[in-house]
Chain A
């Protein structure tokens, strides 16, 4: 059973470009969470999704950031018109149904660098 998969592992974007980060949850997991980790800081919650639904986006910046988890395919975190402050590691986690968000398993992260 493969773990949570994220790609790309490293992404470099120039200011103003778009960044697309992908997350495939563990097999059988239907809940996906995105977190952002700034250098030498803890992880900050961004958004929680189930298939085709955004359940909680209270941690998402109001502008430029969006997330989806379609019926088929991976979850996508999209950052439009990136700025230097978006440089961070972005982790997704997944949990199985029925666990109420407990036991979140993390992917290896995507390290975004904005130049």
Chain B
């Protein structure tokens, strides 16, 4: 099956700096890669996603890049703000199935 690894597990940045979270996946058939943000005690919320037919996608301060050859994808948050502090999860999905395979999460702290 698919195996998704996520790094780092914790990340602290100064407000205004950039944050980068990286994930690797094992199944080359995976073709959909969403990112979720989960605040303490709350539901995971989809913040951005990318499909395997594109290499990069951007939405304001958030961007995701995908390298299909190397089987890794990354989340980039620029100009971080304290409200960006949360746990971020990457996931991968194969076209033949509907389940998401999640990484273990990155706890991001933005220091004011």
- List residues of A whose CB falls within 8 A of some B CB: 4, 31, 33, 35, 40-45, 48, 55-56, 58-59, 91, 95, 100-109
Q: B residues 84-98 with Cβ under 8 Å of A?
A: 89, 93, 95, 97-98
Could you tell me how many residues of chain B have their Cβ less than 8 Å away from some Cβ of chain A?
22
Query: CB < 8 Å: which of B36, B44, B93 contacts A101?
Result: B93
Whether A91 touches B97, Cβ cut-off 8 Å, given contacts A41-B104, A102-B49, is no
Residues in B neighbouring A31, C-beta threshold 8 A: 98
B98–A56 contact, CB under 8 A? yes
Residue of A nearest to B89 (CB): A42
Whether A59 touches B99, Cβ cut-off 8 Å, given contacts A41-B105, A42-B105, A101-B93, is yes
Beyond A42-B104, A100-B98, A104-B46, 17 extra complex contacts between A and B, CB < 8 Å: A4-B43, A31-B98, A35-B100, A35-B102, A40-B105, A41-B105, A42-B6, A43-B44, A43-B102, A45-B99, A45-B101, A101-B97, A101-B98, A101-B99, A102-B34, A103-B46, A104-B34
